[in-house]
């Protein structure tokens, strides 16, 4: 069956329908990872977005359910150049086509994803529609496409109630803003007892549990939409509890302490982004998934200073908070998919908790 991707600027791509045949409007973003498509599909940070995979062949090793980063996939749609018809891997438990159908996610294959990515890079991230209907008059759908907004998606992806991953080491409170499973796994692997809290949990409840450290997770959407969560994070900042934040958590801590964020032209999504540690001068290859960034021009050095910078475009990739046991990063040290170069940051967090005891 034919499918169409209609961008809000009127560009139309024609390909083949994959997955569900329902019609969706979403924000179209691209990911440059060469592998790890299942981890991408199950990353809650993609809620409210449709993902374009720039790597030309997707699905060649099938679906391995153990690799899922959450209980279900989150993107509204999926766009690929070629979908593998015959996956081959000893861990394969199904095809990506079956996976998309099962979770009612529409997609499109057989389009020039390189041309699509160039449009998104040159014009910036834009909304689009995936549909099996052939619209002769785009004027009836373009206003609807342009009007789409991801809205408050953190509440959609967070856990519904708190739960605990048992451990014999430090007690860590993980605020689930759309957390990938591997964040809790990395802490648990280091012996931590991890209590995962829903995103709208009050600071008072977290503080009352007397944690040795607090982790703020990744998550989807515009950080400025999270007004009530920002207020609670400000209260956490005012404690002496060590805090480590990733991605959206990094942005929310910045907003909670008076800094600003803005939307990037097309964001960073993939497993090959170089970041420089400003303290050591060492460069690490990182996994990233974000469309917003902290504006360091409006950063008060008495509150926080840049700790990491993106080598490609100079945008901020991390902050160290002055006089506080707090550091935050924009990239994903837990990777999945991606390199494990920056996994040492979890060890830094462990040492912070040891010192504060």
Q: What is the pLDDT, as a whole number, of residue 209? A: 97
Q: How far apart are CA 292 and CA 178, in angstroms?
A: 16
Closest CA to 263 of 291, 243, 290: 291
- Residue at token pair 């170069």: 341
Say if residue 249 carries a ligand binding annotation: no
Q: How far apart are CA 165 and CA 352, in angstroms?
A: 21
198, containing H or E segment: strand 193-198
The parts of the chain modelled with pLDDT lower than 70 are 356-357
Task: Please tell me whether residue 194 adopts helix, strand or coil conformation.
Answer: strand
Say if residue 248 carries a ligand binding annotation: yes
Which tokens belong to 41? 């599909």
**Alpha-helix residue ranges (DSSP H) falling in 171-297:** 181-189, 203-208, 227-237, 248-256
Q: What is the pLDDT, as a whole number, of residue 139? A: 94
Say if residue 221 carries a ligand binding annotation: yes
Q: How far apart are CA 349 and CA 310, in angstroms?
A: 21
Q: What is the pLDDT, as a whole number, of residue 357? A: 61
Residues designated catalytic? 247, 332, 334
Q: What is the pLDDT, as a whole number, of residue 356? A: 64
Q: How many CB atoms lie within 10 A of CB 301?
A: 9
**Quick one: angle between helices 248-256 and 227-237, nearest 10?**
70
User: Domain residue spans in the chain?
Assistant: 2-147, 154-356
For residues 215 and 244, the answer to whether their CB atoms sit within 8 Å is yes
**CATH match of 2-147 with 3.40.50.11720:** no
> If you classify domain 154-356 with CATH, what class do you get?
alpha beta
pTM for the structure as a whole = 0.96
For 176-194, write each residue's pLDDT tens digit.
999 999 999 999 999 999 9
Say if residue 197 carries a ligand binding annotation: no
For 297-329, write each residue's pLDDT tens digit.
989 999 999 999 999 999 999 999 999 999 999
Task: Please tell me whether residue 165 adopts helix, strand or coil conformation.
Answer: strand
Say if residue 289 carries a ligand binding annotation: yes
Residue 186 backbone phi and psi in degrees, to 5: -60, -40
Say if residue 31 carries a ligand binding annotation: no
Q: What is the pLDDT, as a whole number, of residue 337? A: 87
Q: What is the pLDDT, as a whole number, of residue 216? A: 98
Say if residue 62 carries a ligand binding annotation: no
For residues 43 and 180, the answer to whether their CB atoms sit within 8 Å is yes
């Amino acid at each position: 069956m034919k499918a169409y991707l209609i961008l809000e600027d009127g560009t139309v791509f024609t390909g083949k329908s994959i997955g569900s045949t329902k019609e969706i409007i979403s924000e179209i973003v691209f990911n440059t990872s060469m592998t790890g498509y299942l981890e991408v599909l199950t990353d809650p940070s993609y809620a409210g977005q449709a993902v374009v995979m720039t790597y030309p062949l997707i699905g060649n090793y099938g679906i391995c359910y153990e690799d899922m980063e959450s209980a279900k996939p989150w993107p509204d749609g999926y766009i690929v150049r070629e979908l593998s018809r015959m996956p081959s891997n000893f861990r394969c438990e199904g095809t990506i086509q079956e996976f998309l159908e099962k979770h009612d996610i529409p997609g499109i294959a057989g389009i020039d994803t390189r041309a699509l990515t160039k449009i998104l890079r040159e014009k910036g991230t834009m909304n689009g529609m995936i549909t099996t209907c052939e619209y002769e008059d785009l004027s009836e759908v373009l206003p609807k496409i342009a009007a789409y907004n991801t809205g408050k998606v953190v509440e959609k992806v967070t856990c519904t109630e708190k739960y605990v991953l048992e451990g014999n080491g430090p007690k860590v409170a993980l605020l689930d803003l759309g957390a990938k499973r591997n964040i809790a796994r990395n802490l648990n692997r280091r012996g931590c007892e991890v209590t995962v809290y829903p995103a709208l949990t009050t600071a008072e409840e977290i503080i009352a549990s007397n944690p040795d450290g607090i982790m703020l997770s990744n998550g989807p959407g515009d950080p400025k939409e999270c007004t009530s969560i920002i207020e609670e994070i400000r209260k956490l900042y005012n404690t002496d509890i060590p805090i480590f934040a990733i991605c959206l958590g990094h942005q929310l801590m910045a907003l909670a302490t008076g800094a600003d964020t803005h939307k990037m032209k097309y964001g960073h999504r993939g497993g090959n982004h170089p970041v420089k540690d400003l303290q050591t001068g060492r460069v690490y290859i990182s996994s990233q998934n974000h469309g917003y960034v902290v504006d360091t021009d409006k950063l008060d050095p008495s509150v926080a200073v840049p700790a990491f910078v993106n080598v490609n475009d100079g945008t901020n990739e991390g902050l160290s908070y002055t006089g506080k046991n707090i550091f935050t990063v924009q990239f994903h040290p837990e990777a999945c998919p991606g390199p494990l170069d920056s996994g040492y940051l979890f060890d830094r967090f462990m040492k912070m908790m040891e010192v504060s005891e």
